[in-house]
Amino acid sequence: MRGSQWEGEGKGPGIGLERVLVVVGLIVAVSAVAAYFVEAQNSHGGSGGEITTITTTGVGCGAGSIPQVATAAEGDPRFVALAGGHCYDYIGEDSSGAAPVLTFNYYNGTIVYACGTTAYDVVAGRIEANLTSTGAIGSVWAPTQGLNLPHDCPGSGPVSVVSVDDVSSLIPAVPVLKITLQATPGQQAITVLRASLTLAGATESFVFVGPPDTLTPGAEVSNSQITSTFSSGVLYPLTISGTFADGQAFTVQAYVQVAGTP
């Protein structure tokens, strides 16, 4: 289903904001003057402007293919108590120490950007268990430090994707997506900002900024649009184009995942 602009909000002159979550890997080109390329990492990626399926590391929560020793750890009463009813992904076994350690991560669906360009699933909880010399489950514990490591950022383009969120519940039985973008601090104001999102059924257009409004450096802007259908676990190409106040044009090619999709 296609539709016209349904809602526009942002922060700044005539523009409001709402921060949600997204998944993105980013290729940036600013006119013919400068170009940036940032490749998606941490099991997410896309190329050639095509819709791609996200692949993940480890063994997914509830999968029946995990090793027997991992199944034994998940069934340990101490593990069950620490899990609190949540389902944990099995990440793997580390045998570099005195005793092998099994690691399990819990993801609650929260996604953040590394450097505003690459999406990472946030580890909301971790459980580890070591093995005895006989291969039995020894200690079981839940570390709280070092679950999500910081990332070094080599640079930034003119615009970053903040979120692409499923807000279909606002209009029952109608697919609606809300995209939030942010202008990079320390640059010129943006006078024109648009985006085209390629879904399986159509290419949808989003208009964020146009005369007489401007998007100031560091500000965010959102736009909601009735779209064709979409799915979770899929990277969709998002092409962002805009113009700075001095007339210089730029294009940002991103790959985004819809957050909030059942």
DSSP string, 132-195: -TTS-EEEEE---SSSS---------SEEEEEEEE-GGGSTTS-EEEEEEEEPTTS--EEEEEE
Positions in the chain whose pLDDT score sits under 70: 1-58, 113-119, 153-155, 233, 260-262
Beta strands (DSSP E) in the chain are 5-12, 15-16, 23-30, 34-37, 52-53, 89-94, 101-114, 118-131, 137-141, 159-166, 176-183, 190-198, 203-209, 220-226, 234-244, 249-257
Residue identified by tokens 């903040």 is: 162
pLDDT of residue 178: 94
pLDDT of residue 155: 66
pLDDT of residue 58: 64
Tokens of 167: 């807000």
SS3 annotation, 17-28: CCCCCCEEEEEE
In this structure, the number of other CB atoms found within 10 A of the CB of residue 164 comes to 30
pLDDT of residue 218: 96
Longest dimension (CA), the chain: 72
- Taking only the tens place, the pLDDT of each residue in 63-116 is 778 899 999 999 999 999 999 999 999 999 999 989 999 999 998 878 776 666
In this structure, the number of other CB atoms found within 10 A of the CB of residue 138 comes to 16
Tokens of 47: 């190329």
In this structure, the number of other CB atoms found within 10 A of the CB of residue 172 comes to 6
- How far is residue 127's CA from residue 108's CA, in Å, rounded to a whole number? 15
pLDDT of residue 112: 73
pLDDT of residue 9: 40
What single DSSP character describes residue 114?
A: E
Q: Return the SS3 of 84.
A: coil
